[in-house]
């Protein structure tokens, strides 16, 4: 069993594993994709049934797969962009703290080049 979290530490969310291996709670974008996929599946399947009155399970399953995949790629792309921006911001803050007031201050370099 994992050690109980220290006071002030964020509690790890209970893991819910779909099919026994996909942890939707602790995998970024997984819960969001699966929920939208389920919604897409219901909309596609029910919509197909309303229009055609034929068996729509196949459309529902296909809709689930396509919507989940689409949401997943879209969310992961944005997540990757966000992580890169966070990393850049962290580096800049660190540089600013280390070099403020010195000749290596990034703000001084930037102001110097813009005034030239």
- Strand intervals (E) in 1-116: 17-18, 22-23
Q: Which stretch binds another protein (CB under 8 A): 44-52, 57-65, 96-104, 106-114?
A: 57-65
Distance CA 31, CA 37 (A): 10
**47 versus 70: smaller Cβ distance to another protein:** 70
Q: Are 35 and 64 in contact (CB under 8 A)?
A: no
Q: Are 64 and 58 in contact (CB under 8 A)?
A: no
Residues 6+ apart with CB under 8 A from 96: 105, 106, 107
**19 versus 97: smaller Cβ distance to another protein:** 19
**76 versus 108: smaller Cβ distance to another protein:** 76
Residue 49 contacts another protein per CB under 8 A: no
Stretch 60-89 residues interacting with another protein (CB under 8 A): 61, 64-65, 68-69, 72, 76, 80
Q: What residues line the site for another protein (CB under 8 A)?
A: 1-3, 18-19, 21-23, 26-30, 33, 57, 61, 64-65, 68-69, 72, 76, 80
């Amino acid at each position: 069993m994992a050690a109980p979290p220290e006071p002030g530490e964020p509690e790890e969310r209970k893991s819910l594993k779909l099919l026994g291996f996909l942890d939707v709670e602790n995998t970024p974008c997984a819960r969001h994709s699966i929920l939208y996929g389920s919604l897409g599946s219901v909309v596609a399947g029910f919509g197909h049934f309303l229009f055609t009155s034929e068996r729509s399970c196949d459309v529902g399953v296909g809709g689930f797969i396509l919507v989940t995949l689409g949401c997943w790629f879209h969310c992961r792309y944005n997540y990757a962009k966000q992580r890169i921006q966070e990393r850049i911001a962290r580096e800049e803050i660190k540089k600013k703290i280390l070099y403020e007031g010195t000749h290596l201050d990034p703000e001084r370099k930037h102001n110097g080049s813009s005034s030239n």
